[in-house]
Amino acid sequence: MSVIVYAESWEGKFKKTTFETVNYAAAVAEGMGTDVVAVTIGELQSNAADLGKYGASKVITVSGDSLSEFNPFTYAHALVEAARANDGKVIVVNGTFTGKSLAPVIGVEYEAAVITNVVSRPSGFSPLTVQRNAFSSKGLVEYKSNSERAVISIVTNALGVHKEDGSPANVEAATFSVDSGLKNTESVNVDRVKGQIPLPEAELVVSAGRGMKGPENWGMIEDLADTLGAATACSKPVSDMGWRPHSEHVGQTGIAINPNLYIAVGISGAVQHLAGVSNSNTIVVINSDPEAPFFKAADYGIVGDAFEVVPKLTEAIKAFKANN
């Protein structure tokens, strides 16, 4: 018996959220009285044994021709093979775009119950019972598995990294024969912003809305984000008007995020927006309208003109960073 975790990487390095997911798998394994087997797929420059620090006992590094680019079927197959070889009862994946594509495919291939958007450790293990987000963050639902096997995808940043002092894991190289016929999509082009924290994984996010009056005013938002080391995001109207790219749109029909700190500037806080951000740990709202509904969902609020408050805040954070 084991808990399998997909140790997702990007350009040869483990994604930050992968460590959170390995930690989660370790907690599940502890509850079941078993060990974690981590699986890496494709080329890897990171040290696979490092996954031991986060709770993996063993790492299987899978490589093969059909695995050089992501495809939900080939990757699911590699994970299911590893699960079969190690009697995997639970397979845990990231809440990334990749994890979200994989979970249902693994579920079908492995005849496993699929529980996505998970935000807490299991409350029971036979049957596996675990709570997940639902109703666009307006509710939580506890799910019970009706199968001997389960696939779990966790919400990025919902649980954090708690343990990183384990011993290095044993690494086994494996080449599973993935039938090339499984690979039914072909990647033509990848366009990814280099050197920036991908928004879904960012722990700190600075977001702005229509209150900024135009795309030409985003400089101060970027300054604040750079000072904090934060990613930038925006509201739906802003992406609909083309002021910012769609990939920055957080909220319902955009992406849902769970950062430690979410600073919303000039965003009124419509239900659709809150659906994507209300799980943030700490929310700061800066708005000139004291009646903006977002203040009700905020931890800290400032009523004031963004053009005045944001540069001051950036300066204050610079001063703080210089002294700390």
Footprint (CB under 8 A) of another protein, residues 103-122: 103-105, 107-109, 112-117
Site for another protein contains 313 (CB under 8 A): yes
List 249, 250, 258, 265, residue binding another protein (CB under 8 A) = 249
Residue 196 interacts with another protein (CB under 8 A): yes or no: yes
The H or E element that residue 276 is part of is: helix 271-277
Q: Is residue 246 close enough to count as binding another protein by CB under 8 A?
A: yes
Q: Using the rule CB under 8 A, is 72 a contact of another protein?
A: yes
- 63 binding another protein? (CB under 8 A): no
Nearer to another protein, 213 or 296 (CB): 296
Q: What is residue 155's DSSP assignment?
A: P
For β-strands 88-93 and 2-6, DSSP reports them as parallel
SS3 (DSSP) at 258: coil
CB of 176 to another protein, least distance (A): 18
My answer on whether omega of the bond before 127 falls inside 30° of 0, hence cis, is yes
Cα 307 to Cα 131, 225, 226, distances in angstroms: 41, 15, 17
Residue 294, classed as helix, strand or coil, is: helix
Edge to edge, the sheet with strand 150-154 lists 124-125, 128-134, 113-118, 150-154, 88-93, 2-6, 35-41, 58-62, 170-174
Whole-angstrom Cα distance, residue 103 to residue 151? 6
Rounded CA-CA distance 251/123 in Å is: 29
The 146-175 contact track toward another protein, x by CB under 8 A, reads: xx----------------------------
Residue 301 interacts with another protein (CB under 8 A)? yes
Strand pairing of 231-234 and 204-208?
Answer: parallel
Please choose, out of 32-40, 45-53, 81-89, 278-286, the segment that lies near another protein by the rule CB under 8 A: 278-286
Output 171 or 220, the one with its CB closest to another protein. 220
Query: Binding segment for another protein among 49-57, 81-89, 214-222, 274-282 (CB under 8 A)?
Result: 274-282
**13 is a contact residue toward another protein (CB under 8 A):** no
Please report, for residues 35, 54, 184, 212, the alpha-carbon distance to residue 311 in angstroms, rounded to integers and kept in the order given: 50, 39, 50, 13
**Nearest approach, Cβ of 261 to another protein (angstroms)?**
4
Q: Does 15 bind another protein (CB under 8 A)?
A: yes
302 belongs to the binding site for another protein (CB under 8 A): yes
**Could you tell me how far CA 283 lies from the centroid of its own chain?**
18
Does 322 contact another protein by CB under 8 A?
Answer: no
Does 272 contact another protein by CB under 8 A? yes
Total chain residues near another protein (CB under 8 A): 99
- Type of residue numbered 298: A
∠ Cα 37 172 88 (to 5°)? 25
Q: Is 192 in the site for another protein (CB under 8 A)?
A: yes
**Residue 38 lies near another protein (rule: CB under 8 A):** no
Which range in 24-32, 57-65, 99-107, 163-171 contacts another protein by CB under 8 A?
99-107
- Is residue 129 at the binding interface for another protein, with CB under 8 A as the rule? yes
Interface with another protein includes 179 (CB under 8 A)? no
Q: Which is nearer to another protein, 108 or 173 (CB)?
A: 108
Each as own residue / partner, the long-range contacts of residues 288-295 (CB below 8 Å, 24 or more positions apart, any chain) are 288/211, 292/267, 292/268, 293/268, 293/269, 294/264, 294/267, 294/268, 294/269, 295/269
89 lies in the binding site for another protein (CB under 8 A): no
Site for another protein in 209-228 (CB under 8 A): 228
Looking at beta carbons only, is 53 or 249 nearer to another protein?
249
